[in-house]
C-alpha cells in the first residue's frame, strides 16, 4: 500500500491500520525534518521512526520516503521503489495536508487560505494563546486565494499521482485510490465547506469521480473519497472555529460512547469499505461516509443547542477543551502517559 502523507494524522493511522490488520507492506511518503545534532526534528519524523521500528520488529515491510510529494521527482522515486521492492500496490491512501504546493509543470507556487467566500464571516473561536472564547471576523477570500487553495488541496496532484502510477503499471488489478475529505456541521460551513478549503475539496471530489472511471476502465480499480470525521491534527487545529467545534464534539461523542480517533476511523475504513474483500458503501455522490456518527442528528442537535452558549467561563464544563489541549500536545509527544520526560533522549532516529 502507498500512503501519501503517512507521518501524522489520518495517513499515519491508515498506515498503522493496514499494517496490523492485513500485514500490509507500506510505502510512506511525508515531508518532515529529521533531528540534527542537538536540534529535534518534527513530530512526524519521530512518528515514522517509531512506526518503522515496530513494523520491522514484526517483519512487516516499511519503506519511507521523506520529501515533497507534489514534485515529479518524488513521484518518480516512489514508482522506482514500488517497482523494485513491491512490484505493484493495491491501495493508495492520499492524505496530504499542506499550506503550499509548487506545480511541477508550471513552477507556480500555490498557497492555501482558510477564508469564507462571498462575504466576511464572524463567528466564535478559541484564542489558543490565552484560552478565551472570542469572536473573529474573517474577510472573504479573493479570487486568487480561492484559486491558490484549489491549487494546493484540490485534485490536481491526486490526478498526477494516479496517472503516473497507472502509466508505470504500478497499480495492481482492482487497486483502490482513496483521498480524504471533510464536510462538517453548519457552524463550520462558512469557514470550511462553503469556504476556500471547501472549494478545494469539491475539486478533489470531482477529480476522484473522473479517476474512478479511468481506474475502472484500465485496471478494474476504483477511486473514492472517504469523508472523515473531525479529529485533532496539525492540519485541523490551524483552522479557525474548528478547535472550538472539536472540543464540543469530543465531549458529546465521548459522553454518548461514539467517540473516534483517527485510528478508529481508519480501522472502520478498511474493515467496512476498502479492505480485502470489502465493497465500499457509498452515498449518492459516491463517497464513503466515516463522518456518519459525527453528523448524526442527535449529536448535531446537541452541538447546535450548546454552541451559542459557550463562553470563556463555561468552556471547560460545556466542552472537552482540556481533552482537545491534551490531544494537541500529544501530537508533538507531550503529555503521553508512561513517558518519563526527565530522561535524556536521542534526537536522531532512523527511518531506513
Q: Which residues are catalytic?
A: 192
C-alpha 200/C-alpha 206 separation (Å) is 10
Closest approach, Cβ 217 to ligand NAD, in A, equals 25
The nearest distance, CB 239 to ligand NAD, in angstroms, is 9
- Look at residue 67 and give its three-state secondary structure: coil
32 contacts ligand NAD (rule: CB under 6 A): yes
Residues 161-180 that bind ligand NAD (CB under 6 A): 180
Do β-strands 222-223 and 132-138 pair in parallel, antiparallel, or remain unpaired?
A: unpaired
Burial of 103 (0-12, 13-18, 19+ CB in 10 A): middle
Assess 250 for contact with ligand NAD (CB under 6 A): no
Question: Which range of residues in 8-16, 49-57, 281-289, 294-302 is near ligand NAD by CB under 6 A?
Answer: 8-16
Q: Which residues have C-beta within 8 Å of that of residue 241, sequence separation ≥ 6?
A: 123, 124, 125, 136, 187, 188, 191, 192
Residue 330 binds to ligand NAD (criterion: CB under 6 A): no
> Does 230 interact with ligand NAD (rule: CB under 6 A)?
yes
Interaction residues for ligand NAD, span 190-229 (CB under 6 A)? 228
Out of 69, 150, 224, 269, the residue judged to bind ligand NAD by CB under 6 A:
69
Of 120 and 254, nearer to ligand NAD (C-beta) is 254
Q: Does 116 bind ligand NAD (CB under 6 A)?
A: no
Spell out the residues 6+ positions from residue 243 whose beta carbon is closer than 8 angstroms to its own: 125, 126, 128, 236, 237, 324, 328
Q: Note whether 62 binds ligand NAD by CB under 6 A.
A: no
In angstroms, what is the minimal distance from the CB of 142 to ligand NAD?
Answer: 22
What's the CA gap between 70 and 159, in Å, rounded? 11
| CB closer to ligand NAD out of 69 and 349 | 69
Give CA–CA dist 139/133, Å, rounded.
19
Among 315, 326, 299, CA closest to 187: 299
- CB nearer to ligand NAD: pick between 219 and 237: 237
For residue 112, state whether it binds ligand NAD (rule: CB under 6 A): no
User: Is there binding between residue 8 and ligand NAD (CB under 6 A)?
Assistant: yes
125 binds ligand NAD (CB under 6 A): no
Binding to ligand NAD by residue 158, rule CB under 6 A? no
Cβ atoms within 10 Å, residue 283: 11
Q: How far is the CB of 305 from ligand NAD (least distance, A)?
A: 22
Residue 216 CB, nearest approach to ligand NAD (Å): 23
327 binds ligand NAD (CB under 6 A): no
Cα gap 151→269, rounded to integer Å: 27
Neighbours of 145 (CB within 10 A): 18
Count other C-beta atoms under 10 Å from residue 325's C-beta.
Answer: 18
- Residue of 110, 116, 69, 118 whose CA lies nearest to 92: 69
User: Per-residue string for binding with ligand NAD, 91-110, x by CB under 6 A?
Assistant: ----xxxx------------
Shortest distance, CB of residue 229 to ligand NAD, whole angstroms? 6
Residue 51 touching ligand NAD (CB under 6 A): no
Q: Which of 65, 11, 76 is nearest to 34 (CA)?
A: 65
Q: How far is CA 73 from CA 68, 161, 164, in A?
A: 8, 12, 12
Interacting residue ranges for ligand NAD, rule: CB under 6 A: 5-11, 29-32, 44, 68-70, 95-98, 180-182, 228, 230-231, 233-236
Amino acid at each position: 500500500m502507498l500512503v501519501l502523507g503517512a507521518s501524522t494524522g489520518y495517513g499515519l493511522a491508515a498506515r498503522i491500520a493496514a499494517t496490523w490488520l492485513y500485514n500490509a507492506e507500506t510505502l510512506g511518503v511525508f515531508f518532515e525534518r529529521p533531528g540534527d545534532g542537538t536540534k529535534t526534528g518534527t513530530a512526524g519524523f519521530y512518528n515514522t521512526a517509531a512506526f518503522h521500528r515496530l513494523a520491522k520488529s514484526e517483519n512487516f515491510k516499511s519503506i519511507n520516503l521523506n520529501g515533497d510529494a507534489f514534485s515529479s521527482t518524488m513521484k518518480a522515486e516512489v514508482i522506482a521503489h514500488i517497482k523494485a521492492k513491491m512490484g505493484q500496490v493495491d491501495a493508495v491512501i492520499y492524505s496530504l495536508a499542506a499550506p503550499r504546493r509548487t506545480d511541477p509543470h508550471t513552477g507556480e507556487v500555490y498557497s492555501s487560505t482558510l477564508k469564507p467566500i462571498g462575504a466576511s464571516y464572524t463567528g466564535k473561536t478559541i484564542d489558543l494563546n490565552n484560552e478565551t472564547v472570542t469572536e473573529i471576523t474573517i474577510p472573504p477570500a479573493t479570487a486568487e486565494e480561492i484559486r491558490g487553495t484549489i491549487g494546493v488541496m484540490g485534485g490536481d496532484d491526486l490526478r498526477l499521482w494516479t496517472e503516473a502510477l497507472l502509466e508505470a503499471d504500478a497499480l495492481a488489478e482492482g487497486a483502490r485510490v482513496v483521498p480524504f475529505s471533510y464536510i462538517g456541521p453548519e457552524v463550520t460551513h462558512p469557514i470550511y465547506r462553503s469556504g476556500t478549503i471547501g472549494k478545494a475539496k469539491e475539486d478533489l471530489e470531482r477529480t476522484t469521480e473522473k479517476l474512478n472511471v479511468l481506474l475502472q476502465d484500465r485496471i478494474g480499480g476504483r477511486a473514492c473519497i472517504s469523508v472523515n470525521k473531525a479529529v485533532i491534527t496539525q492540519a485541523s487545529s490551524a483552522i479557525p472555529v474548528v478547535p472550538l467545534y472539536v472540543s464540543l464534539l469530543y465531549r458529546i461523542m465521548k459522553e454518548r460512547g461514539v467517540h473516534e480517533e483517527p485510528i478508529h476511523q481508519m480501522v472502520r475504513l478498511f474493515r467496512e469499505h476498502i479492505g480485502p474483500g470489502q465493497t465500499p458503501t457509498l452515498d449518492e455522490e459516491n463517497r464513503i461516509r466515516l463522518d456518519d456518527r459525527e453528523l448524526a442528528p442527535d449529536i448535531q442537535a446537541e452541538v447546535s443547542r450548546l454552541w451559542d452558549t459557550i463562553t470563556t467561563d463555561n468552556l471547560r464544563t460545556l466542552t472537552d477543551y482540556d481533552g482537545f489541549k491534551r490531544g494537541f500536545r500529544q501530537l508533538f509527544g507531550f503529555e503521553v502517559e508512561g513517558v518519563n520526560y526527565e530522561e535524556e533522549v536521542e534526537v536522531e532516529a532512523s527511518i531506513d
